[in-house]
Amino acid sequence: MLVSDCGTSRNNNLGVVAILGMGGVGKTTLAQLVYNDEKVEHHFDLKAWVYVSEDFDVVRVTKSLIESVVRNTSSSASKVWESNNLDILRVQLKKISREKRFLFVLDDLWNDNYNDWDELVSPLIDGKPGSMVIITTHQRKVAEVARTFPIHKLKLLSNEDCWSLLSKHALGSDEFHNSTNTTLEEIGRKIARKYGGLPIAAKTIGGLLRSKVDITEWTSILNSNVWNLSNDNILPALHLSYQYLPSHLKRCFAYCSIFPKDFPLDKKTLVLLWMAEGFLDCSQEGKMAEEVGDDCFAELLSRSLIQQSNHVGRGKKFFMHDLVNDLATIVSGKSCYRLECGNVSKNVLHLSYTQEVYDIFMKFKSFNNFKCL
């Protein structure tokens, strides 16, 4: 769809491909695969990636698109995206996309208001024919409002594919050659049928089982009561992955809830934060604190609770899947909080906020009463 020349659209030269599916089914992963594809890379003059989320704001998304384009092209243009004037931003977005064939990705779009959508994309209609926007969303109405091509709906994995993905993360292979592994396969296939065909669940459970290649351990996970949880927001598979973490890793993981969704995690910075908070116990390890922190990070990475980004726009950064971020927020309770999420408990220990161009002192006034921060 992206590289074809025959794609007509309602918005002049602009085509919109909507990837639809439930959380954790792989919408962003698919978008990353095509975004990084060599044929796609050579087909477009400009590429940019923006994470949208529930908090849809035309000014913020427009600013993010401009910033992403300027950084990807190493442009020396002034930082016009720091403006909050939508008219100025729209003029700049139109200027940098005019006469160019571009590919923009709007990841995790929730807003189904057509006027908002039209306001966002109207500066893009003067691009070269073949210019494309990919959106990922879990709501059909959003996809129907935005798309110009047929909606690309991602289905859940089959039981066989679930097992294949689980076994590769757990054992590095889906081939079994002895009686012990044959028994593990029988148990593993039963586990694979429990997590509903979601790749994110297969990866996290696979990461959990990787450190427990033992029939008793696998049976314990299969028979866990966690599978009976009925939380619509958090998958039982993710709960299990957290439940089986050592206590020091639970602290490190829960602390990550202070980062907004899709926030690029820098390994070194995160390890330094864990050190500063006293989460890393070096007394029995015989290692420096940084080494212990690196081990903790590697363990969370191996369990897919942290993932490495695989699209060009992120560089060598790491991130947490939205569902994993939700899990971290729940397990951290009232100890960690993000200011933009609303009312903050006075007992909060760790708090973060998203810096704005013109921050006002008044929004921090209530911190005077926080005795545990």
Q: What is the CATH number of the domain that holds 314?
A: 1.10.10.10
- Mean pLDDT, to the nearest integer, of 230-236? 65
Rounded average pLDDT over 110-130: 88
Domain holding 97, by residue range, is: 14-153
- Residue 4 is assigned to a structural domain of this protein: no
Residues 194 and 232 in one domain: yes
Alpha carbon distance 19, 25 (integer Å): 11
Single out the residue of 241, 231, 232 nearest to residue 200, CA to CA.
Answer: 241
Whether 264 and 200 map to the same domain: the answer is: no
Are 111 and 209 members of one domain? no
Provide the CB-side half-sphere exposure for 168 (13 A, CA): 9
- Asked whether residue 218 falls in the same domain as residue 269, the answer is no
Residue 344 lies in a domain: yes
CB 112 within 8 A of CB 145: yes
pLDDT single digits (tens) 41-77: 999 999 999 988 877 888 888 888 888 888 776 655 5
Question: Is the pLDDT reported for residue 13 higher than 80?
Answer: no
Give the end of a domain, one of 199, 225, 240. Answer: 240
Q: Dihedral (C-alpha) 227, 232, 234, 239: value to the nearest 10 degrees? A: -20
Residues in the chain: 373
Q: Which of 153, 174, 199 delimits the end of a domain?
A: 153
Number of domains in the chain: 3
Residue 1 lies in a domain: no
Contact call for residues 69 and 137 (beta carbons, < 8 A)? no
Same domain, 235 and 363: no
Q: What pLDDT is recorded for position 310?
A: 67
At what angle are helices 322-331 and 247-255 packed, to 10 degrees? 110
Q: Is 28 within a domain? A: yes
Q: Decide if pLDDT at 302 tops 70.
A: yes
pLDDT digit string, tens, across residues 303-341: 889 988 765 454 568 989 888 998 898 888 888 888 877
In the beta sheet, which residues pair with residue 137? Answer: 20
| CATH number reported for the structural domain that contains residue 82 in this entry | 3.40.50.300
Is 8 inside any structural domain? no
What backbone torsions phi and psi does residue 136 show, to the nearest 5 degrees? -115, 135
pLDDT tens digit string along 179-214? Answer: 457 788 889 899 888 877 888 888 888 888 887 778
pTM: predicted TM-score of the whole model, two decimal places:
0.78
Go through 111-126 and write b for each residue having 16 or more CB atoms within 10 A of its CB, e for each that does not.
bbeeeebeebbebbeb
